[in-house]
Chains A and B, each alone.
Chain A
Amino acid sequence: MPSRPVPPAARRTRTPRPFAVPPAVPAVGLAAALLAGCSSAGPAAPGGGTGGTPVRGGTLKYAVAVGTSCLDPHVSPGDVTAVIQRNVFDSLVYLDDKGAFHPWLAKSWQISPDARTYTFQLREGVTFHDGTAFDAAAVKANLDHVKDPRTKSLYAASLLGPYTGAEVVDPLTVRVSFAEPYVPFLQAAATPYLGIASPKSLAEKADQLCAGGANSVGTGPFRETEYVKNDHVEFKRNDAYAWAPEGAANQGAPYLDGLTIRFLPEDSVRSGALTSRQVDAAALPVSAVRTVRAAGVEVTRTQNPGVVYSLFLNSTRGALRDERVRRAVQRAVDVDALVKSIYFGEYERAWSPLSPTTPASYEAGLKDALPHDAAAAGRLLDEAGWSARDGDGYRVKDGKRLTLHWPYIASLVRDQRDTLAAGIQADLKKAGVELVRDSIDNGTYFKVYASGDYDLWDNSWVRADPAILAGFYLSANTPAAGGQNVSLSSDPELDGWLTAGAATTDPAARKANYTKAERWAVEHGTVLPLYVTANLIGRSEGVRGLVFDANAWPQFAGVWRTR
């Protein structure tokens, strides 16, 4: 989710939040996050240590920063929920880190030319951990469960977009229908949020699904045996597992006997646990990477797809209504220098609101489009009429100081974003713009969010599909309507590209639509992209075969230990 506050549940970590999907365009996203994440240098990254012959046996302890209040991926929007429950719940299709789809619980699928109907042929012989057989009715039961208001889904339901229903064609064929063309569905279906749970568990344990542990029953490579909130989740190998995604290195049951995911919220404690070998792998904060590397631990870095960590400029309020002022803000901040000095080169400076790793959509041409230029910023502000200065050196017009408000929740600041904000504040001050950071509580924060009573708003969102951009820029997706369009952009042409992007199945046409939207966002001064979020994973030697999916989340089924 966004870097936004989240309900306590997902809190502190990433917090994905859903937003409304306007007709025809789904928009959903996951937050980008940080800490808990994981990732690695890319697929098959050598960092993953894929060399050698896998050995069976042993257990792995993996540490993440925060837990979640609910472990039901159909409900919880947390990235950490997805990382944990991926081990238990398989999906219909698998999206690899290069953006390619592979058969998983579905052997094959067809998309109707109008992209409103998806037909999946399911794999035979798949069973849930409770012995129930996996079939078309199970798929239908899951999708209906997600959509049911009683489930109170905070994210998965938005991934289903304009879902109208699923039809069991025969025991191994299911047809999923949408009211509008919905190209992003395949990517949505690949996420753990639309993972397939045993229909028996959905019916019989409806009120305990959040509690995880043995209540989480899927077809996945591991069975979940225990969940102690704020402490750990325990998994045992599913010996029957024989339906890994096509192309996965390990096509059978996991090599590990067991897997433990521990929650260690303190950054220094998490990295200390890793360097002292009390855990075998951990999601690391950017500040710990150097020390951990120095201690001989291998750290892999994978950039998240989706919306990068960005500062959005509210185009409907005060001085920022003037596009020249917004563009001045973009030019006044030396993002390069800030990102380099604060993140030690671990994070890449962003130029587009979309991450370079978002499949088939990144507008690489935006690089260097708006470099830091204090003089240009000054000229723009002068042109906009903010040429006079007051006693403190801030620009004034009609007796009013050029002041911008940027609200935040102090307890949810992570990733040294407060330092970054202070740097932005200093750069803006040089340009004569006063940046005020308002520290507010959760409740007020969401009120301000919905009312549009802010000038600047930061956010990021992990999703391996450019449809995420619609959540941030479709005019109907205002915060008040549950969307993420915090810049309150409203332009029919922009809406047209975003809608077309979700409706066309031709990859080139899709990309063309989204790159235009990216360009529009930057050129109209609605966003100051800051850095590309990345998952940093430290791994003891002897841990091999760790790979990452399209979201840059770790996959444990193929992990093995040399000793």
Chain B
Amino acid sequence: MSRFARAALHRLGGAVLVLWGAATLGFLALHLVPGDPVSTLLGGSVTTGSAAVRAEITREFGLDRPLFEQYLTFLGRLLGGDLGRSYQQQQPVSLIIGEQLGPTAELALTAFGLILLFALVSAVTTAGRRRAVRGAASGAELLAISTPPFWLGVLLLTLFSFHLRLFPVAGAEGWESLVLPAVTLAVPFGSLLSQVLREGLESALHEPFALTARSRGIGPLALRGRHALRHALVPAVTLGGWLVGGLLGGTVLVETVFARPGLGRVALDAVTGHDLPVVIGLILLSAAVYLVVNTVVDGLYLLIDPRLRGAGPVREVAA
């Protein structure tokens, strides 16, 4: 077996373990929190046929069986690719997630693009510059990081939607409706990434290789872009993995403020409503996203830093 195939297999095995662990933890957590799904679904009150309705719900979702049996049934269905049906929406979980995945992905990817653009431009142009320039950029970023995204969203809406009427207030139709939510999501994360990048750039610029490069007559921008950036990127890429989690969490808030459909709000509803199948579906989805992101990040390390190549199979696997 080639080294590559072994590495791939290793990674795949790890991925399966991670997904199984995520599903199990989600299952247990939801069974351990107080309150049972039937009561929450009924909202504490019952209809005339309450006993009958309660019994029907319990039977249909198999909630009357022992926890271990429920767990095995759940795993079995999961292996067959069946995520089950939502208690509350009475719809297949895969359908619910499938319907709402698009708008969230669109939002998260756009925000991600903006974050990269903003961080690169800001860090490369201001790293190691005069105190005033650097201080102003860094100060603005700190302010942005500490601004509650909720407030920022309402501020942007008030200005650009209610007053200037440049962008629609809400929804998920057309690129115009994507601008404000993506900016709201991108500003704090982009600022943070920019801080990390600038820090890395500046320490790289103090390395002897920077002096060498300069002595060869390279311009300041080329030095940053071609040499220093490569060094600064390693910590930034590490941060990127965390960023994906931040973006997913951030969508909950942004989707609510901007009234966009999406998984963030689905998650919010499902968690408060003890809608176990939906919550587990979302847990599995985010675990899968993390696995992919981690794989990409590991690949990026190799791409960025040639010193890491040829050091044998990548040891750290999706964790």
B-binding residues in A (CB < 8 A): 1-2, 4-11, 15, 17-21, 26, 69-70, 75, 77, 147, 149-150, 152-158, 160-162, 207-211, 228-232, 262-266, 268-269, 272-273, 275-276, 278-279, 411, 441-447, 449-450, 479, 481-484
Residues of B within 8 A of A21 (CB): 47-48
By the criterion CB–CB under 8 Å, are B163 and A276 in contact?
Answer: yes
B35 at the interface (CB under 8 A from A): yes
Are A482 and B270 also in contact (CB < 8 A) when A232-B171, A444-B35, A446-B40 are?
A: no
By the criterion CB–CB under 8 Å, are B161 and A272 in contact?
Answer: yes
Residues 16-47 of chain B: 1 if any A CB is under 8 Å from the residue's CB, otherwise 0?
00000000000000000111100111111111
Instruction: Looking at the assembled complex, report how far the CB atom of B150 sits from the nearest CB atom of chain A, in whole angstroms.
Output: 9
Give the contacting residue for A158; candidates B48, B255, B268; CB below 8 A. Answer: B48
Give the contacting residue for A6; candidates B39, B43, B162, B258; CB below 8 A. Answer: B43
Residues of A within 8 A of B42 (CB): 7, 17, 154, 482
By the criterion CB–CB under 8 Å, are B44 and A229 in contact?
Answer: no
Residues of A within 8 A of B86 (CB): 69
By the criterion CB–CB under 8 Å, are A266 and B259 in contact?
Answer: yes
By the criterion CB–CB under 8 Å, are B35 and A479 in contact?
Answer: no
B residues 44-103 in Cβ contact with A at 8 Å: 44-50, 52-53, 55-57, 60, 86, 88-91, 96, 99-100
By the criterion CB–CB under 8 Å, are A266 and B257 in contact?
Answer: yes
B287 at the interface (CB under 8 A from A): no
Residues of B within 8 A of A70 (CB): 88-90
B285 at the interface (CB under 8 A from A): no
By the criterion CB–CB under 8 Å, are A278 and B47 in contact?
Answer: no
By the criterion CB–CB under 8 Å, are A276 and B161 in contact?
Answer: yes
B128 at the interface (CB under 8 A from A): no
How many Å lie between the Cα of A228 and that of B88 in the bound state? Answer: 16
By the criterion CB–CB under 8 Å, are A20 and B91 in contact?
Answer: no
By the criterion CB–CB under 8 Å, are B49 and A157 in contact?
Answer: yes
How many Å lie between the Cα of A446 and that of B274 in the bound state? Answer: 13
How many Å lie between the Cα of A228 and that of B168 in the bound state? Answer: 17
By the criterion CB–CB under 8 Å, are A152 and B88 in contact?
Answer: no
By the criterion CB–CB under 8 Å, are A482 and B162 in contact?
Answer: no
Other than the given A20-B45, A444-B35, 19 more pairs (CB < 8 A) read: A1-B45, A11-B272, A19-B47, A20-B46, A26-B48, A147-B49, A149-B56, A152-B60, A154-B42, A158-B47, A211-B91, A231-B172, A266-B154, A273-B169, A442-B273, A442-B274, A446-B43, A447-B34, A450-B39
Residues of A within 8 A of B268 (CB): 8
Residues of A within 8 A of B259 (CB): 230-231, 262-266, 269
Which of A11, A69, A447 has the most chain B CB atoms closer than 10 A to its own CB? A69
By the criterion CB–CB under 8 Å, are B170 and A8 in contact?
Answer: no
B231 at the interface (CB under 8 A from A): no
Are A154 and B154 also in contact (CB < 8 A) when A7-B273, A273-B170, A276-B165 are?
A: no
By the criterion CB–CB under 8 Å, are A19 and B45 in contact?
Answer: yes
B260 at the interface (CB under 8 A from A): yes
By the criterion CB–CB under 8 Å, are A69 and B57 in contact?
Answer: no
By the criterion CB–CB under 8 Å, are B45 and A479 in contact?
Answer: yes
Instruction: Looking at the assembled complex, report how far the CB atom of B171 sits from the nearest CB atom of chain A, in whole angstroms.
Output: 6
How many residue pairs bridge A and B at CB < 8 Å? 208
Residues of A within 8 A of B168 (CB): 278
By the criterion CB–CB under 8 Å, are A445 and B44 in contact?
Answer: yes
By the criterion CB–CB under 8 Å, are A230 and B161 in contact?
Answer: no
By the criterion CB–CB under 8 Å, are A446 and B39 in contact?
Answer: yes
Residues of A within 8 A of B269 (CB): 8-9, 11, 69
Residues of B within 8 A of A149 (CB): 49, 52-53, 55-56
B240 at the interface (CB under 8 A from A): no
Residues of B within 8 A of A7 (CB): 40-43, 88, 273
Which of B33, B170, B171, B270 has the most chain A CB atoms closer than 10 A to its own CB? B170
Instruction: Looking at the assembled complex, report how far the CB atom of B83 sits from the nearest CB atom of chain A, in whole angstroms.
Output: 15
Instruction: Looking at the assembled complex, report how far the CB atom of A224 sits from the nearest CB atom of chain B, in whole angstroms.
Output: 16
Give the contacting residue for B169; candidates A152, A278, A484; CB below 8 A. Answer: A278
Which of B34, B44, B165 has the most chain A CB atoms closer than 10 A to its own CB? B44
B149 at the interface (CB under 8 A from A): no
Residues of A within 8 A of B40 (CB): 7, 442-443, 446
B residues 217-273 in Cβ contact with A at 8 Å: 255-262, 265-266, 268-270, 272-273
By the criterion CB–CB under 8 Å, are A449 and B44 in contact?
Answer: yes
By the criterion CB–CB under 8 Å, are B53 and A157 in contact?
Answer: yes
B residues 123-177 in Cβ contact with A at 8 Å: 154, 157-158, 161-163, 165, 168-172
Give the contacting residue for B162; candidates A5, A211, A275; CB below 8 A. Answer: A275
By the criterion CB–CB under 8 Å, are A4 and B43 in contact?
Answer: yes
By the criterion CB–CB under 8 Å, are B275 and A20 in contact?
Answer: no
Residues of A within 8 A of B275 (CB): 8
Instruction: Looking at the assembled complex, report how far the CB atom of B103 sits from the nearest CB atom of chain A, in whole angstroms.
Output: 8
Q: Quick one: closest B residue to A265, CB to CB?
A: B256
How many Å lie between the Cα of A150 and that of B47 in the bound state? Answer: 13
Give the contacting residue for B88; candidates A69, A161, A481, A483; CB below 8 A. Answer: A69
B residues 153-204 in Cβ contact with A at 8 Å: 154, 157-158, 161-163, 165, 168-172
Would you give 29 A-B contacts (Cβ < 8 Å), ordered by A?
A1-B43, A1-B45, A4-B45, A7-B41, A8-B269, A8-B270, A9-B89, A9-B269, A9-B273, A11-B269, A15-B43, A17-B43, A70-B88, A152-B53, A154-B41, A154-B42, A208-B91, A228-B172, A228-B261, A230-B100, A230-B255, A230-B265, A231-B259, A269-B170, A269-B258, A272-B162, A278-B168, A450-B44, A483-B45
By the criterion CB–CB under 8 Å, are B262 and A17 in contact?
Answer: no
Residues of B within 8 A of A481 (CB): 46, 50
How many Å lie between the Cα of A420 and that of B8 in the bound state? Answer: 60
Residues of A within 8 A of B36 (CB): 443
How many Å lie between the Cα of A6 and that of B44 in the bound state? Answer: 8
Residues of B within 8 A of A272 (CB): 157-158, 161-162, 169
Are A443 and B273 also in contact (CB < 8 A) when A264-B170, A269-B257 are?
A: no
By the criterion CB–CB under 8 Å, are B48 and A157 in contact?
Answer: yes
Residues of A within 8 A of B255 (CB): 230
By the criterion CB–CB under 8 Å, are B273 and A20 in contact?
Answer: no
Are A69 and B89 also in contact (CB < 8 A) when A8-B273, A11-B269 are?
A: yes
Are A207 and B35 also in contact (CB < 8 A) when A152-B56, A442-B274 are?
A: no
By the criterion CB–CB under 8 Å, are A8 and B158 in contact?
Answer: no
How many Å lie between the Cα of A152 and that of B48 in the bound state? Answer: 11
Give the contacting residue for B171; candidates A156, A231, A443; CB below 8 A. Answer: A231
Residues of A within 8 A of B33 (CB): 441, 443
Residues of B within 8 A of A263 (CB): 259
Top 3 A-B pairs, shortest CB-CB distance: A443-B35, A482-B46, A8-B273
